[in-house]
A = this chain, B = another copy of it.
Amino acid sequence: MTKKYASVDRCDCDVIHKDVIDHVRKEMPEEESLYDLAELFKVFGDSTRIRILSALAVSEMCVCDIANLLNMTQSAISHQLRVLKQAALVKNRRDGKVVYYSLDDEHVEQIIDQGMAHINEEE
């Protein structure tokens, strides 16, 4: 007979409150969602990417503009834009040689604003 949940073999301490553990296990989101969530926040968790997103929240920009604004190489910016695009946080359009990037949806700004609110309301 298989156990319903993974057996606990890594924890080197005793279960203190089995009822609490069972309750939390039922109520908290699925593992997969939480992994996806961590991946999402990981993308926000880099100062270069956050600065790019904050810039794009103000205005659409091309790669060269962003590189100049942040005083970084075009290559570094391009690599990060790739990460942001894969995470569906930015989109782009090509106009001749120039590629313009912008935020993909309004959720991005909301997440940033929520984080800002947390930071500014510390006392």
Contacts and interface: CB of A to CB of B under 8 A. Distances in A.
B16 A98 contact: yes
Contact of A64 (B15, B55, B71): B15
Copy number in the complex reads 2
A64 B121 contact: no
A116 interface: yes
Contact of A57 (B10, B28, B41, B111): B28
A38 interface: yes
A46 B54 contact: no
A107 to B, nearest CB: 4
Contact of A71 (B9, B16, B37, B114): B9
B112 A117 contact: no
Contact of A46 (B12, B42, B121): B42
Given A12-B67, A37-B112, 10 more contacts: A6-B71, A11-B67, A13-B64, A20-B65, A21-B61, A24-B61, A28-B57, A31-B51, A36-B119, A41-B41
